[in-house]
């Protein structure tokens, strides 16, 4: 059986939703293990033995570990195409991967600069500057996702739930933690509220024990 190591509310939510969608479409069940990132469990010797990068998500398949969201998700889609998590048509698939890659290699690291600015500079003033700049970038990126969300019906790729929907939900939650009020992104918020009611998304939210609304005024 496949086993997902995830951090509640972290980017591992993306393959988590994928696994729930696969379970709904095929009956294939999976195991999960929560990794408490705020307690540093991702740096325990046991976890580092599985994933030397010390990051979630990690998917263990037949005892073999696979890291990186894009790799895990393309594996899941390749093994369970019935779940329809990525389009089959080569052009549409490439377009979906283009958005997925942008989310993973641009939006996600931008947030890392806000949330873990200590990774990028030593002094407090430099960290505050990094945070401030990254917050402005992140806001712009959420606005770009909002433009896509305005056309979603009900999902970004149309009827079918995809990994990029799960990522979009994660980013709006993270924005709330960084002081971005979701009420200022109404089309994005309405889309995420719709997503949260879809059974695979609702199941992953329930297992992770997370709230959709994370907004903290800064």
Ligand X SMILES: N[C@@H](CCC(=O)N[C@@H](CS)C(=O)NCC(=O)O)C(=O)O
**Applying CB under 6 A, which residues contact ligand X?**
7, 10-11, 37, 42, 54-57, 68-69, 104
In whole angstroms, the minimum distance from the beta carbon of 42 to ligand X comes to 5
Q: How many CB atoms lie within 10 A of CB 198?
A: 17
Token pair of 6 as six digits: 């995830």
3-state secondary structure of 14: helix
Q: Which residue has the tokens 């939006």?
A: 107
Query: Minimum distance from CB of 209 to ligand X (Å)?
Result: 16
Residue 32 or 68 having the CB closest to ligand X: 68
Query: 112 or 184: whose CB is closer to ligand X?
Result: 112
**Nearer to ligand X (CB atom), residue 116 or residue 151:** 116
Q: How far is the CB of 13 from ligand X (least distance, A)?
A: 9
Nearer to ligand X, 69 or 152 (CB): 69
Q: Which is nearer to ligand X, 111 or 191 (CB)?
A: 111
Residue 56 or 96: the one with the smaller Cβ distance to ligand X is 56
Q: Prior bond to 22 cis, omega within 30?
A: no
Provide the minimum distance between the beta carbon of 179 and ligand X in the complex, in angstroms, as a whole number: 18
Name the pairing type of β-strands 58-61 and 30-34.
Answer: unpaired
Kindly state the smallest distance separating residue 170's Cβ from ligand X, in Å.
8
Q: How far is the CB of 27 from ligand X (least distance, A)?
A: 27
Task: Kindly state the tokens that stand for 36.
Answer: 């408490």
Is residue 48 within 8 A of residue 54, CB to CB? The reply is yes
User: E-strand spans in the chain?
Assistant: 2-6, 30-34, 58-61, 64-67
CA distance 202 to 186: 20
209: CB partners within 8 A, 6+ apart = 8
């Amino acid at each position: 059986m496949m086993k997902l190591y995830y951090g509640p509310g972290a980017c591992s939510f993306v393959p988590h939703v994928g696994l729930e969608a696969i379970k709904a479409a095929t009956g294939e069940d999976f195991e999960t293990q929560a990794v408490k990132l705020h307690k540093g469990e991702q740096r325990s010797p046991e976890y580092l033995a599985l994933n030397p990068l010390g990051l979630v998500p990690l998917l263990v398949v037949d005892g073999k570990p696979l890291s990186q969201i894009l790799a895990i998700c393309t594996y899941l889609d390749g093994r369970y195409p019935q779940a329809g998590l990525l389009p089959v048509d080569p052009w549409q698939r490439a377009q979906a991967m283009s958005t997925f890659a942008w989310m993973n290699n641009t939006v996600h690291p931008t947030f890392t600069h806000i949330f873990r600015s200590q990774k990028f500079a030593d002094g407090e003033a430099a960290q505050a500057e990094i945070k401030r700049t990254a917050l402005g970038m992140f806001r712009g990126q959420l606005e770009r996702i909002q433009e896509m969300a305005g056309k979603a019906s009900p999902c970004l790729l149309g009827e079918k739930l995809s990994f990029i929907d799960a990522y979009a939900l994660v980013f709006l939650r993270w924005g709330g933690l960084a002081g971005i009020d979701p009420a200022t992104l109404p089309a994005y918020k309405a889309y995420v509220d719709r997503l949260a009611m879809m059974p695979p998304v609702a199941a992953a939210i329930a297992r992770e024990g997370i709230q959709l609304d994370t907004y903290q005024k800064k």
